[in-house]
């Protein structure tokens, strides 16, 4: 068979490409080298002072690897590209002078301005908001002593222990380099290949597969500083600290099917939610929490405080809530503020200092290095959104995009021609905590970082049954997208070391067989660890890790859909709507067309959205008011019935009054008693479905419906898979 010209060009291109001596061949038995061709001893651990000491700047392989990674893309962020931001302020509740000399944590009357950027990690700027991913929660405090950047996530741990592996984990989760697919998704071979070969990732993976990876909104997710930091008071006493953000609206998530559908219906779901909440005055609020550990107690735990794959269970060290963050102003310009803001974890103020966490040390280098390329040089701090409110005086000058015009002839120190200014502040400036160091230079990891499964098991054991079911389904979905059987088999082995039943359920969902001894190895290992750490502090369960155990303070800012057509009962609609609004909820009337619907009483009600533009996935609950004509019309339509079915399948609260109960009876929701057998005026509430017919007083219904919405999800619906949606 003759080849055409196109075939010849393709073959020539392939041949020439393979002849290139610089082209990497993944199948060749080559050694890993630096860009200078120097063979690399190890790429799993950075060079440190002792196995548990600080990372050394002389590690040229570490610096080269991170530098190359930081400069891979311009101008979009390599990670956390998809973001949303807001201005606000922070106030401490009481002076924390006993813990820290940081001034912004001293005076409860001071409002410290902040800018917060929320983000996803893996996707590009154009990806959807509701993908399964870690969410960034980065806060820049503009304090009188300089900027403090608390660069955190909505998950308290990370995939890796040493920052030298950060390029690897991000390369693995990003789209494949040959096809640039898939976008904003971890459900592919390269990611799970990496994870299956990195046991230290198991704790983070459990969080990633949980509901925490698909938050309901930025306003309803926790934030964590991830690392262990130091707080240092005026007397020089140091304590270890973990930072937390606790949302005052409670912690809530989407369900996976809902998240997938929202990505198509409204890919800007989280961004829009944050913007609208601030525009309408429903300001997002979070409390800053601290977990404080005295230095002489740091070795009392059955895990290493410097290991970023570990948490301190709140049952061992309670979270002390010390202040409140309020977001009350949207950006004036997205690019100038949200896109150009530069967070650097190195930005700390006196009273806050670092520990020897190797992942933290990598971030100290990497964040600054990234900004130099992304924002065009060393003067990025002069961009208005990055500019500190504290006075800036130094001898650094020139460079790309210099906005300042320095005056005078002195640009060096020491000097006499400028009166010795600017002068060093001495003890009044930032003084690094004088931690004692004495160890050989080694490329090793501390043995105390060696436990990769116990906290993954802790997370699993702390979940409610519905949350465990979601983790299993997420694992089946993710690994079901993995084409390489060996990767799936390795992950089942890892899951068996977390929990044998968990592994078996995932294996069954994948059509695989888990061997009989699954989990035995880890149980034996657990006994050995328990004996070795018998005097250490640990817990078998941490109820604080379960979203079901987090506070549910009310229905403020929840979105409630009201389904109505011509002939709706204005009395019922108005009474329920007013009561929900009084509790701070947002209600929308949804009908087949925009404009107005006529009420049974002869009035008119404004329609907020037509059913073609919205769906149940965009709402937290649904209410169907009475009105014979309205309900009869909706019983003949597909959209209202689907709206109810889908809401029920997603475990959302459903309310109906009067004839509205008949629309539920016409749906596929058969697991609750909603039909006309109810006596007139009798309130019915079960599994989050609240109904009443012919009641002269709607107050009992309203109370029960608000209680159902406060719960957010109703998992006690065993028949929900049979409901088509």
Decide: 689 and 669 in contact? Cβ < 8 Å. Answer: yes
Could you give the count of Cα atoms lying within 13 Å of 476 in the half-sphere of its Cβ? Answer: 18
Identify the band that residue 689 occupies on the pLDDT scale cut at 50, 70 and 90.
Answer: very high
pLDDT digits (tens, 9 = 90+) for 630-653: 999 999 999 999 999 999 999 999
**Dmax (CA) of the chain:** 95
* Domain residue extents for the chain: 48-386, 460-549, 559-722
- The three-state secondary structure class of 39 is strand
Decide: 117 and 87 in contact? Cβ < 8 Å. Answer: no
Decide which of 3.30.1490.20, 3.40.50.720, 1.10.8.420, 1.20.1370.20 is the CATH code for 460-549. Answer: 1.20.1370.20
Q: What is the mean pLDDT of the chain?
A: 90
Helix intervals (H) in 568-698? 570-582, 628-635, 638-649, 660-666
Above 60 in pLDDT, residue 16?
Answer: no
Q: How much of the chain exceeds pLDDT 90, in percent?
A: 75
The whole-number pLDDT of residue 299 equals: 93
Element (H, E) at 359: helix 358-374
Residue at token pair 């001898």: 395
When comparing pLDDT for 36 and 260, which is higher? 260
Identify the band that residue 203 occupies on the pLDDT scale cut at 50, 70 and 90.
Answer: very high
14-18, 560-564, 720-724: the lowest-pLDDT one:
14-18
The whole-number pLDDT of residue 204 equals: 98
Instruction: Tell me the fold of 559-722.
Output: Rossmann fold (3.40.50)
Please enumerate in sequence order all residues whose Cβ is within 8 A of that of 684, keeping only pairs 6 or more positions apart, or say none: 672, 673, 674, 678, 690, 691, 692
The whole-number pLDDT of residue 74 equals: 54
Decide: 356 and 380 in contact? Cβ < 8 Å. Answer: no
The whole-number pLDDT of residue 401 equals: 86
Q: Which residues belong to the active site?
A: 80, 153
Above 60 in pLDDT, residue 11?
Answer: no
- What's the CA gap between 239 and 242, in Å, rounded? 10
Identify the band that residue 679 occupies on the pLDDT scale cut at 50, 70 and 90.
Answer: low
Q: How much of the chain exceeds pLDDT 70, in percent?
A: 92
CA dihedral 106, 111, 114, 120 (to 10 degrees): 80
- What's the CA gap between 97 and 106, in Å, rounded? 6
When comparing pLDDT for 307 and 391, which is higher? 307
Decide which of 3.10.20.30, 2.40.180.10, 3.90.226.10, 1.20.1260.10 is the CATH code for 48-386. Answer: 2.40.180.10
């Amino acid at each position: 068979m003759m080849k055409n010209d196109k075939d010849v060009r393709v073959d020539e291109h392939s041949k020439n490409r393979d002849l290139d001596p610089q082209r990497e061949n993944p199948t060749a038995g080559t050694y890993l080298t630096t860009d200078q061709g120097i063979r690399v001893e190890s790429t799993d651990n950075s060079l440190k002072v002792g196995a548990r000491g600080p990372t050394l700047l002389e590690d040229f392989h570490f610096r080269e690897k991170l530098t190359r990674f930081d400069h891979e893309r311009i101008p979009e962020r390599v990670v956390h590209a998809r973001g949303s931001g807001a201005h606000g302020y922070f106030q401490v509740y009481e002076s924390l002078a006993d813990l820290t000399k940081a001034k912004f944590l001293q005076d409860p009357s001071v409002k410290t301005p902040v800018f917060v950027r929320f983000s996803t990690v893996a996707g590009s700027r154009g990806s959807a908001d509701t993908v399964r991913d870690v969410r960034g929660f980065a806060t820049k405090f503009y304090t009188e002593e300089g900027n403090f950047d608390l660069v955190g996530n909505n998950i308290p741990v990370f995939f890796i222990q040493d920052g030298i592996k950060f390029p690897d984990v991000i390369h693995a989760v990003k789209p494949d380099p040959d096809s640039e697919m898939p976008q904003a998704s971890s459900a592919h071979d390269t990611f799970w290949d990496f994870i299956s070969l990195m046991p230290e990732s198991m704790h983070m993976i459990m969080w990633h597969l949980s509901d925490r990876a698909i938050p309901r909104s930025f306003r309803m997710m926790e934030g964590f500083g991830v690392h262990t930091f130091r707080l240092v008071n005026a007397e020089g006493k140091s304590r270890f600290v973990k930072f937390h953000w606790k949302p005052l609206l409670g912690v809530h998530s989407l369900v996976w099917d809902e998240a997938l559908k929202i990505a198509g219906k409204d890919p800007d779901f989280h961004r829009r939610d944050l913007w609208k909440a601030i525009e309408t005055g429903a300001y997002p609020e979070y409390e800053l929490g601290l977990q404080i550990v005295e230095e002489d107690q740091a070795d009392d735990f059955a895990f290493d405080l410097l290991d970023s794959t570990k948490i301190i269970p709140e049952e061992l060290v309670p979270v002390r809530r010390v202040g409140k963050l309020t977001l009350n102003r949207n950006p004036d310009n997205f690019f100038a503020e949200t896109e150009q803001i530069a967070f650097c974890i190195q930005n700390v103020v006196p009273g806050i200092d670092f520990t020897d966490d190797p992942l933290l040390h990598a971030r100290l280098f990497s964040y600054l290095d990234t900004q130099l390329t992304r924002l065009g040089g060393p003067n990025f701090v002069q961009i208005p959104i990055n500019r500190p409110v504290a006075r800036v005086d130094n001898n650094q000058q020139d460079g790309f995009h210099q906005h300042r015009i320095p005056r005078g002839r002195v640009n060096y120190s020491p000097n006499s021609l400028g009166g010795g200014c600017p002068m060093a502040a001495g003890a009044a400036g930032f003084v690094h905590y004088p931690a004692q160091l004495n160890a050989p230079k080694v490329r090793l990891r501390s043995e105390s970082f060696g436990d990769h499964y116990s906290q993954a098991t802790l997370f699993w054991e702390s979940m409610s049954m519905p949350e465990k079911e979601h983790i299993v389904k997420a694992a089946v979905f993710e690994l079901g997208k993995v084409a390489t059987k060996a990767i799936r088999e390795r992950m089942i082995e890892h899951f068996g070391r977390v929990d044998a039943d968990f592994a078996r359920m995932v294996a069954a969902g994948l059509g695989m067989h888990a061997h009989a001894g699954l989990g035995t190895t880890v149980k034996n290992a657990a006994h050995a660890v328990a004996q070795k750490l018998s005097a250490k502090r640990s817990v078998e369960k941490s109820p604080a890790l379960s979203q079901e155990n987090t506070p549910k303070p009310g229905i403020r800012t929840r979105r409630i859909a009201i389904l109505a057509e011509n002939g709706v009962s204005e009395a019922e609609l108005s009474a329920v709507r007013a009561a929900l609004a009084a509790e701070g909820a947002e209600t929308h009337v949804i009908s087949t067309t925009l404009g107005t619907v006529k009420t049974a009483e002869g009035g008119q009600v404004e329609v907020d959205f037509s059913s073609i533009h919205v769906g149940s996935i965009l709402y937290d609950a649904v209410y169907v008011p009475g009105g014979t004509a309205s309900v009869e019309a909706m019983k003949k339509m597909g959209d209202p019935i689907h709206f109810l079915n889908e809401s029920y399948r997603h475990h959302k609260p459903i309310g109906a009054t009067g004839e509205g109960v008949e629309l539920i009876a016409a749906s596929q929701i058969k697991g609750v008693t909603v039909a006309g057998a109810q006596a007139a005026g009798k309130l019915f509430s079960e599994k989050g479905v609240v109904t009443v017919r012919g009641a002269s007083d709607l107050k009992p219904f309203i109370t029960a419906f608000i209680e159902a919405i406060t719960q957010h999800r109703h998992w006690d619906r065993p028949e929900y898979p049979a409901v088509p949606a």
